[in-house]
Amino acid sequence: MSVREGSDTLAFQATAEATAPPAAVGATAHIADRAEPARRRIRRGWLVRRMLAGADVLGLSTAFIATEFLFPPNRLTDHLDVSVETLVFLTSLPAWIVVAKLYGLYDRDEERARHSTVDELVSVFHLITVGVWLFYSTRWIVGFTQPDAKKLATFWLLALVSVTTARSAARAVARRRAAYLQNTIIVGAGDVGQLIGRKLLQHPEYGINLVGFVDGEPKERRQDLGDLQLLGGPDEIREIVNENDIDRVIIAFSRERHEQLLEVVRALRWRDIQIDVVPRLFEVVSPNVGIHNVEGLPLLGLPATRIPRSSRFLKRCFDLIGASILLAATAPLMAMIAFLIRRDSPGPVFFRQTRVGLDMREFALFKFRTMREGTDEGPHREYVREIMRTDAAPASNNLYKLERADVVTRIGRWLRRTSLDELPQLLNVVRGDMSLVGPRPLIPYELELLAPHQFERFLVPAGITGLWQVEARAHSTFVEALDLDVAYARGYSLGLDLRLLLRTPFLIFRTRETG
Q: Give domain status of residue 8, yes or no.
A: no
Q: Is the pLDDT of residue 30 over 50?
A: no
Residues 334, 370, single domain; the answer is yes
For the cut 60, the answer to whether the pLDDT of residue 514 exceeds it is: no
Query: What is the mean predicted confidence (pLDDT) over 482-498?
Result: 84
295 and 324 fall within a common domain:
no
Domain that holds residue 86: 44-174
Whether 332 and 441 map to the same domain: the answer is: yes
Last residue of a domain, one of 133, 150, 174: 174
For the cut 80, the answer to whether the pLDDT of residue 420 exceeds it is yes
Statement to judge: residues 327 and 413 lie in one domain:
yes
Asked if 440 and 485 touch (Cβ cutoff 8 Å), the reply is yes
| Residue of 59 and 235 predicted with greater confidence | 59
Query: What is this structure's pTM?
Result: 0.59
Contact by Cβ (8 Å): 311, 101? yes
Question: 403 and 481 share a domain?
Answer: yes
On whether both 100 and 165 belong to a single domain, the answer is yes
In contact, 271 and 240? CB cutoff 8 Å: no
Tens of pLDDT, residue by residue over 149-159, are: 788 888 899 99
Whether 405 maps to a domain, the answer reads: yes
Q: Pick from 302, 333, 354: which residue ends a domain?
A: 302
Are residues 59 and 130 part of one domain? Answer: yes
pLDDT in tens, 342-358: 888 888 999 898 999 98
* Confidence (pLDDT) at 87: 83
Nearest to 107 by CA among 93, 96, 120: 120
Q: Same domain, yes or no, for 280 and 328?
A: no
Question: Residues 52-68: what's their mean pLDDT?
Answer: 92
CA dihedral 248, 253, 255, 261 (to 10 degrees): 50
- Using an 8 Å Cβ cutoff, are 197 and 91 in contact? no
pLDDT tens digits for range 107-148: 877 777 677 788 788 889 988 988 887 777 766 665 555 657
Q: Which residues are 294's β-sheet partners?
A: 297
Q: For residue 271, is it within any domain? A: yes
- Domain assignment present for residue 11? The answer is no
What's residue 2's pLDDT?
Answer: 37
Answer whether residue 132 is part of any domain. Answer: yes
In a domain, 384, yes or no: yes
- Among 302, 327, 359, which residue terminates a domain? 302
With CA atoms as reference, report the closest residue to 489 among 358, 388, 390, 384: 358
| Same domain assignment for residues 94 and 243 | no
Residue 324: pLDDT band (50, 70, 90) is very high
- Regarding whether 115 and 65 lie in a shared domain, the answer is yes
Q: What is the pLDDT of residue 334?
A: 93
Number of domains in the chain: 3
pLDDT digits (tens, 9 = 90+) for 384-403: 666 555 555 545 444 445 56
pLDDT in tens, 295-309: 777 676 666 667 778
More confident residue, 463 or 304: 463
- Who's near 164: CB < 8 A, 6+ residues apart? 59, 117, 121, 124
Contacts from 168-173 at CB under 8 Å and sequence distance 24+?
168/116, 168/117, 169/55, 170/48, 170/51, 170/52, 170/54, 170/55, 171/48, 171/51, 171/52, 171/109, 171/116, 171/117, 173/51
